[in-house]
Amino acid sequence: MRMNGTSILARSAPWAAAALVAAGCAGAGPSSEGVLGRGFDPASPAVSSPSASPGGVGEVRQSVLGLRRGLSNQEERIEESRKAIQGLVDGIERNSRNTEAALKKLGLQFEEVRGRIESLENEVTLLRQGRTGAPAPGAPAAPGAPPAPGSPPAAGAEAPAGAPAPGAPPAAAPPAAGSPPAAGTPAPPVPPQAASLPRLPEAPAVPPAAPAPKPPDPEEEFNQSLKVIQEEKSYPRGRALLSAFIAKFPAHELADDAQYWIGQTYFEERNYERAILAFNKVQVDYANGDKAPEALLQEGMSFLSLGDKASARELLMRLQQKYPNSEAARTAEERLKSMQ
């Protein structure tokens, strides 16, 4: 079939237009201002992924939450470390306090031992001073005692019969038996038989037996010791006497009083550590004695004088519980009120 040129061109026009458009796009590239418009980029995220912007905000939020969780974990670890360090510090302080208390206790025990040694030394000194010595040389002998050998007889003493008087020449020795008498010497008269025997000296009189020593009076010894403390203010000597009293009469009803006054002497000397030990000994050895409440009161006052109010308060409260009807308990109540 025969076609004219116009019809062929009309039929091929759309294909030609399409070819021209394709050729123009290929020549222009991504930055060309073709029919697709200026700045069109098919690889742009805004074109290829319309939901990219909301997704980025979510990721940021997740990152922030992760950081917060990490910080929270770090804070927990720091808090655990802080608690562990605080525990170590508390343990060190506790050990330090225990060590200090142990050293203080050892020091008090050492002071107690030294005080006992001092008391023993004072007691030995007193015993030496009170010991009776031998009579001094030249002292007159007891009546009726025989004279010492070789000593001259006392004035006015009668010489024994047949003995020459002092200053008289010695008598001539009698002739030996069987020998003839000397010339010119008359033979001695024969004395009677009774007169020929010498007079025997009288036996010395036996001195009367010494009276039995008076047994010691505990109350008198205690009162003498207390007088040394209260009137003479001689605290070391008074302690020595009281210690000797306790050693001599450990079960006497005044033994707790003696131990109490030993503590009181230390308290008066402001030696509060030794006073505490002495007063505590009353509680240990004489818990049922009449001086136990006062000793507990003075032990608390000794701690208070050292500045240890906690220990003083504890002892005063114990006094109120243990001896509620005692005068010392009423004094303890007043002290506790003043400490508040």
For 145-201, the pLDDT digits (tens) are 445 444 454 444 444 444 454 555 555 455 554 455 555 555 555 555 544 555 655
Q: Which CA distances in Å does 158 have to 78, 170, 236?
A: 118, 18, 59
The C-alpha atoms of residue 248 and residue 245 are separated, in whole angstroms, by 5
* Section 52-59 average pLDDT: 68
CATH number of the domain at 219-339, out of 3.40.50.150, 1.25.40.10, 3.30.70.600, 1.20.120.1690? 1.25.40.10
pLDDT band at 333 (very low <50, low <70, confident <90, very high): very high
pLDDT band at 37 (very low <50, low <70, confident <90, very high): very low
Q: At what angle do helices 309-322 and 327-339 cross, to 10 degrees?
A: 150
DSSP 41-110: -TT-HHHH-TTHHHHHHHHHHHHHHHHHHHHHHHHHHHHHHHHHHHHHHHHHHHHHHHHHHHHHHHHHHH
For 203-228, the pLDDT digits (tens) are 566 666 666 666 678 999 999 999 99
The C-alpha atoms of residue 278 and residue 75 are separated, in whole angstroms, by 56
pLDDT band at 52 (very low <50, low <70, confident <90, very high): very low
Whole-model pTM above 0.75? no
> Could you tell me if 318 and 297 are in contact, meaning their C-beta atoms sit under 8 angstroms apart?
no
